[in-house]
Chains A and B, each alone.
Chain A
Amino acid sequence: MQNDLILKVENLNVEFDGNKILSDLSFEVKRGEILAVVGPNGAGKTVLFRALLGLVPYTGKFLWQKGIKVGYVPQRFIVERDIPLSVKEFLGYKKESKSKVAEVLKWVGFYTSDEHHLERHLLNQPLGVLSGGELQKVLIAFALLGEPKVLLFDEPTTGIDLGGEETIYNLLKKLRDDHNLTIIFISHDIHVVYQYANNVLCLNKEKICFGPPHEALSREELKKLYGTEVGIYPHTHKH
């Protein structure tokens, strides 16, 4: 495998009870890339992630770069408000030092002047009382503990309040730039793909397109992907 190749997927197939969910999927991901996986509901995006993580049976093959660690941020899930699990205990599952946890929390945007503040207002809080943005950041921090080189991110939620002007995609880009991460994210939102991804994989059970967004996402491809005209056009300024 070439040195800068992080992931090589070849003829990947996944089926559940005889239903093809993913069919003959092949693509590559290079180091430092941000790859967006887009497609309609039921296109198999999450299943692709689950296959890459070894959570579902598959045929065909994929190869991660040798010895590489993969961090995973699952689709946002509901944490019951009254679940007695503190953020500290949750992050503690990764068995990292206290200082490492504080450092990673800083990466995802929990700025703090002193440790006691962080302890009281975040670490000792139950997971269920966090706001949507805080929970999303804690889940990213969880994925980042253990020094992964790749981040698989299922549906970063747009419109979530991370505080200030920061959006989840700015954060992902910053993580890539500052910490040499390769990022693969799933999205419904074609807008963010143009803005943040180097490459896009359009998926609807099979590969519809793959490549840099401006080249890969033609109107025809989008129509093929979503089955109708999609009212989103890239800003190519050719009027």
Chain B
Amino acid sequence: MIDQNLIFSMIAAGVVGAAAGYLGSIMVLRRLALAGDVLSHVALPGIGIALLYNLNPFLMAFAFLFAASWLIWLLEKKTRLPTEALIGIFFVASLAIGVMIIPELEELGGALFGDISAIDLGDAVFAIVLSAVVFILGSRIYKGLVLGTISEDLAVANGVKLRKINLLFLALVAVIVALGVKVVGTLLMGALIIVSATAAKNLSRNIARYASLSTIFGMVSAPFGLWIARFYDLPPGPMIILVGIGIFLLSLLNRK
């Protein structure tokens, strides 16, 4: 009999991987690769509080991620501090708080490295619906974000509401990171976001190809890594990332 749980897990991993790859293509384009990585750790205190008070970990992780992104977005404008410094401070603070409030070592492990074995049909449907929302909204702001990456002035002068779409983009990233926390965990979610896009960039000379390759790499590497992990009884999160790294190394051979 086919392992039903494995199928649900693979579907969830596939859609989250695809959406992470899609958003990751923008992160990498804007040189925010490390910011994406760091941001994912902000989910940790949220998960800690959820575990302590028996709340929904996804919602708490999302709440923390979005609040942090929004604060960074706001502080970037109000203070003159560089974004990277702000993100760094949020990162260490979150890690410290998260580790303090997540009591059991085993639970901490689950939060850090994911626990996709716990995924059921409801979770898979939830992941599909949210990923679909991310794709629909993401595709509406994608062009504006790319134009803003080349030149902010040019984008704004041509009617792109850059501040607004930046915030929406951060919200979408928060959704996907929160979803991915269950799949690969907070420590490796950043990797899931950037690794597909970095590989896709090596193989692309236009945006259409870049965005689709990045999506496809995410969609393939996440379930495939999960499957290998299950087969050899290895932890799934790290295996998923290693498959992504493998694709990245292959992409170096064919760099354009």
Chain A residues with a Cβ under 8 A of chain B: 50, 53, 55, 72, 74, 77, 79, 82-86, 88-90, 93-94, 124-127, 142
- Are B156 and A85 touching (Cβ within 8 A)? no
Q: Which of B122-130, B175-183, B198-206 binds A?
A: B198-206
- Are B154 and A74 touching (Cβ within 8 A)? yes
Which B residue sits closest to A85, measured CB to CB?
B207
Q: Which residues of A contact B2 (CB under 8 A)?
A: none
A57 to chain B, nearest CB (A): 13
- Are B204 and A84 touching (Cβ within 8 A)? yes
Given contacts A50-B153, A55-B156, A77-B151, contact A88 B143 (CB under 8 A): no
Extra A-B contacts (16), CB below 8 Å, given A84-B201, A84-B210, A90-B150: A55-B157, A72-B154, A72-B158, A74-B151, A77-B150, A79-B150, A82-B201, A83-B149, A84-B209, A85-B207, A86-B205, A88-B206, A93-B143, A94-B158, A124-B205, A127-B150
Q: Which residues of B contact A124 (CB under 8 A)?
A: 205-206
A142 to B143, CA, bound (A): 15
Q: Which residues of A contact B97 (CB under 8 A)?
A: none
Which A residue sits closest to B201, measured CB to CB?
A84
Interface flag for B95 (CB, 8 Å):
no
Interface flag for B167 (CB, 8 Å):
no
A123 to B150, CA, bound (A): 17
Given contacts A124-B206, A126-B205, contact A85 B146 (CB under 8 A): yes
One of A53, A55, A82, A84 near B207 (C-beta < 8 A): A84
Which B residue sits closest to A126, measured CB to CB?
B205
Interface flag for B29 (CB, 8 Å):
yes
Given contacts A74-B157, A88-B206, A126-B205, contact A83 B143 (CB under 8 A): no
A86 to B143, CA, bound (A): 13
- Are A89 and B208 touching (Cβ within 8 A)? yes
A53 to B158, CA, bound (A): 9
Q: How large is the interface on B (under 10, 10 to 19, 20 to 34, 35 or more residues)?
A: 20 to 34
Interface flag for B59 (CB, 8 Å):
no
Nearest first, the 9 A-B pairs at minimum CB distance are: A86-B206, A84-B210, A84-B204, A72-B157, A74-B153, A53-B157, A126-B205, A89-B207, A77-B151
A124 to chain B, nearest CB (A): 7
Interface flag for B6 (CB, 8 Å):
no
A55 to chain B, nearest CB (A): 5
A88 to B208, CA, bound (A): 11
**Residue contacts A-B, CB under 8 angstroms, 11 given:** A55-B157, A72-B158, A79-B150, A83-B149, A83-B150, A84-B29, A84-B201, A84-B204, A86-B205, A89-B208, A90-B150
A88 to B206, CA, bound (A): 9
- Are B205 and A84 touching (Cβ within 8 A)? yes
Interface of B is mostly: helix
Q: Which residues of B contact A90 (CB under 8 A)?
A: 150
Q: Which residues of B contact A84 (CB under 8 A)?
A: 29, 201, 204-207, 209-210
Interface flag for B147 (CB, 8 Å):
yes
Q: Which residues of B contact A82 (CB under 8 A)?
A: 201
Q: Which residues of B contact A142 (CB under 8 A)?
A: 154
Q: Which residues of B contact A50 (CB under 8 A)?
A: 153
A93 to B150, CA, bound (A): 13
Most buried by A among B156, B206, B208: B206
B123 to chain A, nearest CB (A): 34
- B143-175 interface bits toward A, Cβ cutoff 8 Å, 1 = contact, 0 = none: 100110111011011100000000000000000
Q: Which residues of A contact B208 (CB under 8 A)?
A: 89
- B188-222 interface bits toward A, Cβ cutoff 8 Å, 1 = contact, 0 = none: 00000000000001001111111000000000000
B204 to chain A, nearest CB (A): 4
Most buried by B among A53, A74, A82, A84: A84
B154 to chain A, nearest CB (A): 5
- Are A93 and B158 touching (Cβ within 8 A)? yes
A72 to B157, CA, bound (A): 7
- Are A85 and B206 touching (Cβ within 8 A)? yes
One of B147, B157, B205, B209 near A93 (C-beta < 8 A): B147
A50 to B154, CA, bound (A): 10
A59 to chain B, nearest CB (A): 20
B1 to chain A, nearest CB (A): 44
Q: Which residues of A contact B154 (CB under 8 A)?
A: 72, 74, 142
- Are A85 and B158 touching (Cβ within 8 A)? no
A127 to B150, CA, bound (A): 10
A212 to chain B, nearest CB (A): 29
A94 to B29, CA, bound (A): 21
